[in-house]
């Protein structure tokens, strides 16, 4: 759902972004730019990480929200603002409103993680839970705006929001003036559009690569059609870029200034999140890790036209990840790298059988994390038991070694 058409707004310019940067001075942090030796080795070029996960509220969203609200007329501020979000935009609007003395009402889905709800309330916003998906929440927020006169703050489809997000691009040029490629995740397109406006005006030679989750990739068909196209049921763990339709305003900018859009799969996203945690010591949400996922799969990423020229800057757009989801994603990432193995097998139900099985695993140095022992399933024979094991392994080769050792020991491996 869009806020308006691109024609109904003036274009976003470099001056707009520079004005936003002045407005954000003392409000938004100039986030760190960290080099990554490990990613540089994998990509074959110097790689730097722009750490917007360390921004106030944990993502870049504060930038655009503050600029948009700060630009309201006095009578509009008096009416308050309303937003809809499952997390990052909610917190950005909440803090921006508190700093500017504006009452904020934020609609969030009923299933939103409790830490995100608590954080939004902690910044001073009134939270209303409505709907099961963001589209329902967004409709409720727009209905509230129509009924009360509160100003609806769109997460990406407004020039002021795009100008605010574009300040990330100015910081990249200041912190890494030799940059040749910028990789940034795309949901509705506000961040990518803002960065593109700022960077292309000053350094048209810099290549800008957008990244979408394969299950939520609305930009490739939209770019092919030449207009925003909605996709049905966008699905990805990266909720920060799970948007079913590009914004009208950012789409016009992205189609003109962003050089390429690539897609990454769920395995790449979880592996990227795990890499950020282990090698960069940074907590990053799946959407924020999408540029790293593109670097990990650069040679095979769908949409890739050519290798990335370095220095490369990957924008880690956010770090607001629910601890429960983080646990699941890390397990998924470990499994994708062959470092976590779940296996079911059958054995004879007799004393010492489980100890014998564990002895086989000990010989091949597989660390047992969890054991589930079932004797009463009607599918089992009278003298059979089924065991499900969760193992910590050392990679695909080690997983194959474990499976081979179990089969050689006479066990029937089911999965």
Q: What CA–CA distance (Å, rounded) separates 197 from 124?
A: 32
Rounded CA separation 290/331 (Å): 17
Indicate the angle between helix axes 114-122 and 88-100, nearest 10 degrees: 10
Give the CA angle between residues 220, 224, 227 to the nearest 5°.
95
3-state secondary structure of 141: helix
CA distance 199 to 316: 17
Residues with active-site annotation: 61, 317
Q: Please, how many CA atoms are within 13 Å of residue 85, restricted to the half-sphere of its CB?
A: 32
φ, ψ for residue 24, nearest 5 deg = -85, -5
Stretch (H or E) spanning 167: helix 159-175
What are the two backbone dihedrals, phi and then psi, of residue 260, each rounded to the nearest 5 degrees? Answer: -165, 145
Tokens of 172: 């990249």
Dihedral over alpha carbons 66, 208, 233, 223 (to 10 degrees) = 110
- Return the bridge partners of 182, or none: 208, 313
**Which pair of tokens denotes residue 302?**
């769908």
Collapsing DSSP states into helix, strand and coil, what is residue 342? strand
Is there a contact between 272 and 337 (Cβ–Cβ < 8 Å)?
no
CA torsion sign for 294, 297, 303, 308 is positive
For 319-348, b where at least 16 C-beta lie within 10 A, e where not — what string?
bbbbeeebeebbbbbbbbbebbbebebbbe
Cβ–Cβ under 8 Å, residues 388 and 347: no
């Amino acid at each position: 759902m869009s806020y308006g058409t691109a024609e109904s707004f003036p274009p976003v310019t470099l001056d707009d972004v520079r004005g936003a940067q002045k407005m954000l001075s003392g409000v938004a942090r100039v986030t760190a730019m960290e080099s990554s030796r490990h990613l540089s080795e994998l990509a074959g070029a110097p790689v730097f990480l722009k750490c917007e996960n360390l921004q106030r509220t944990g993502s870049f969203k504060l930038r655009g929200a503050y600029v948009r609200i700060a630009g309201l007329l006095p009578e509009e501020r008096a009416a308050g603002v309303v937003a809809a979000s499952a997390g990052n935009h909610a917190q950005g609007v909440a803090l921006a409103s508190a700093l500017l003395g504006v009452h904020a009402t934020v609609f969030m889905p009923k299933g939103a993680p409790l830490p995100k709800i608590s954080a939004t309330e902690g910044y001073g916003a009134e939270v209303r839970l409505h709907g099961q998906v963001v589209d329902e929440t967004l409709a409720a927020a727009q209905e509230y705006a129509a009924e009360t006169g509160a100003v609806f703050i769109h997460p990406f489809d407004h020039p002021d929001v795009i100008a605010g997000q574009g300040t990330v691009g100015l910081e990249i040029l200041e912190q890494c003036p030799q940059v040749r490629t910028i990789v940034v995740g795309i949901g509705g397109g506000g961040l990518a559009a803002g960065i593109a406006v700022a960077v292309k005006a000053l350094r048209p030679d810099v290549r800008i690569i957008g990244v979408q989750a394969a299950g939520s990739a609305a930009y490739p068909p939209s770019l092919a059609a030449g207009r925003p196209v909605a996709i049905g049921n966008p699905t990805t763990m990266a909720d920060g870029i799970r948007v079913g339709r590009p914004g009208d305003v950012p789409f016009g900018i992205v189609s003109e200034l962003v050089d390429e859009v690539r897609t990454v799969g769920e395995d790449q996203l979880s592996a990227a999140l795990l890499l950020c945690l282990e090698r960069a010591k940074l907590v990053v949400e799946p959407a924020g890790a999408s540029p790293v996922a593109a670097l990990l799969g650069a040679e095979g990423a769908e949409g890739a036209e050519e290798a990335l020229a370095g220095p490369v800057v990957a924008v880690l757009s956010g770090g607001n990840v629910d601890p429960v989801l983080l646990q699941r994603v890390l397990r998924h990432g470990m499994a994708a790298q062959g470092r976590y193995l779940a296996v079911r097998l059958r054995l004879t139900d007799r004393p010492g059988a489980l100890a014998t099985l564990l002895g086989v695993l000990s010989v091949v140095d597989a660390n047992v994390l969890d054991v589930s022992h079932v004797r009463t399933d009607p599918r089992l024979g009278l003298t059979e038991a089924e065991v499900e094991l969760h193992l910590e392994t050392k990679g695909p080769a080690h997983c194959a070694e474990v499976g081979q050792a179990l089969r050689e020991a006479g066990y029937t491996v089911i999965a």
